Structure 1
Amino acid sequence: MKHSPESAAYKFITTYFPGCDGALLSGSVIRGEGTSASDLDIVIFQKDLPSAYRETFHLFDWPIEAFVHNFTSYRVFFESDRDRARPSLARMIAEGQVIKEHDFLHYVKKEAEELLKAGPEPWTEGTLQTKRYMLTDVLYDFIGAENPKEELSIAAALADQIHEFVLRTNQQWLGYSKWVYRALLAFDPVLAEKYYQAFHVYYRTGEKKLIIALADEVLEPFGGRLVEGYSAGKI
């Protein structure tokens, strides 16, 4: 019988990191979203560690991703999370289930929760206009595409830029891979469904209309498509 996530995580910590100060089990298995391909994300804190590192294992029936930190190194990753607007480590820590207890874990979990609640830094007006222009540019590429092989890549770029634009203009965290839809769903379930339907229809039938309408919908509150009048770097 396969080890449970908690059992595997506990055995992993006691066998390979017995001297650590604290550890958290995180990831999809903790959220009840695990699949047959899920791994275990384990965040480990060891006070005397010289620097943070990440290491992959396959032990106790599970692929395991270990994220190993001292008591200060995580802050650099929190700052990177905020700069990228993708709260990878912060989310793992905030959601993490304690595998090895330490008072420090309560402090760092609270810090992670506050970071998640605050959201990323808002875009400046200059960044907003640049992103609006870039989304418009890809949208026109998509509208005018005649080579279906090229069009697939344009659609993928458009999917990413629509997700980025709508979330960042609302000071929301971005997603990556499976987290793109999850991030949209957490922000606005109606919009998430429109996003899903637009790209689902396109990839099944090649029909572009729903994607074009969605792009225009997210651009509209900021003046719609931007082509004429955009400038960057002009002195």
Structure 2
Amino acid sequence: MGEFNRLEPLKAAQKFIKNYFPNCDGALLAGSVVRGEATKTSDLDIVIFDDTYRSSYRESLIAYGWRIEVFAHNLNSYQDYFESDFKRARPSLPRMVSEGTILKDKGVIDSIKREAKELLSEGPEMWSTDTINTKRYFITDTLDDFIGCNNRAEEIFVANTLAELVSEFVLRTNNKWIGASKWVIRSLRDYDINFAEQFVEAFDEFYKNGVKNKVVTLVDEILHPYGGRLFDGFSLGKE
């Protein structure tokens, strides 16, 4: 991809806007390059606002030596994505807008950034007791599978599911945003860096050596304040 000849990210993004979106109302450069976390495989995440667009869209392309991800919105459609991200507790677009470096602005960016920052500051919707109990049940069920499984291939995928369920439980019961993929551990670190290290250590011990006790202990400690494991008496959808 000619990474050694490619433009510096901000210059590449500015040139991209000038040549591909010259009439937009506003544009932001977001993602790892803005946070100072870029790697050799990082791309440029660019958010576009153009009120002439009928609807939002996403597009991927290569320009100026960079992989570029475009997230295009009109001046209303982004609000639907903010709401959707709030409901699923994964604030992808609000985070990009909040952290984004302004590439172009015809007077629309400040208010959109303010909306994003207010949403992020508010945190996700709190779980109800019923939701917490449902999550406890599914964690218990997966933990039982994990403890009882003696097939290495199956154990790995059960552990993956358990890690996802447990990370979600910890974050949501503490009114924190969740994430997917690399954002799982980033979200855990934002919540509590010591807990994040404990979480990684427990699962790393299993993946490396097949030792399960640290994972089991960790899960039980997490569930304890909410009543521990849940199986007996649990029902879902019963009238």
Q: How big is each residue's C-alpha offset from its partner over 1:114-142, in whole Å with a ceiling of 9 and x where there is no partner?
A: 00010111111111110010001100000
**Equivalent pairs, count:** 235
Within 1, Cα distance between the matches of 2:190 and 2:167?
A: 12
**Aligned equivalent of 2:78, options 71, 74, 78:** 74
1:102 Cα deviation after fit: 2.6
Determine the structure 1 residue equivalent to 2:16.
12
> Residue 108 of structure 2: SS of its match in structure 1?
helix
Give the aligned CA root-mean-square deviation in angstroms: 0.7
Determine the structure 2 residue equivalent to 1:208.
212
Unaligned runs of 5+ in 2: none
Within 1, Cα distance between the matches of 2:106 and 2:188?
A: 34
In the TM superposition, 1:39-118 aligns within 5 A as 39-118=43-122
2:115 equivalent to 1:123: no
In the TM superposition, 1:18-37 aligns within 5 A as 18-37=22-41
Determine the structure 1 residue equivalent to 2:175.
171
Could you tell me which amino acid in structure 2 is paired with residue 150 of structure 1?
A: E
Within 2, Cα distance between the matches of 1:203 and 1:36?
A: 27
> Residue 103 of structure 1: SS of its match in structure 2?
coil
What is the TM-score with the length of structure 1 in the denominator?
A: 0.98
Runs of 4+ in structure 1 off by over 6 angstroms are: none
What is the TM-score with the length of structure 2 in the denominator?
A: 0.97
Unaligned runs of 5+ in 1: none
1:2 Cα deviation after fit: 2.3
> Residue 7 of structure 2: SS of its match in structure 1?
coil
1:207 Cα deviation after fit: 0.6
In the TM superposition, 1:212-227 aligns within 5 A as 212-227=216-231
Q: How big is each residue's C-alpha offset from its partner over 1:25-68, in whole Å with a ceiling of 9 and x where there is no partner?
A: 00011000110100000000001110000000111111000000
Could you tell me which amino acid in structure 1 is paired with residue 35 of structure 2?
A: R
> Residue 25 of structure 1: SS of its match in structure 2?
strand
> Residue 81 of structure 1: SS of its match in structure 2?
helix
Q: Calculate percent identity across the aligned residue pairs.
A: 51
Q: How big is each residue's C-alpha offset from its partner over 1:156-215, in whole Å with a ceiling of 9 and x where there is no partner?
A: 000100100000111110011000000000001111000110111111111111111111
**Aligned equivalent of 2:150, options 146, 153, 159:** 146
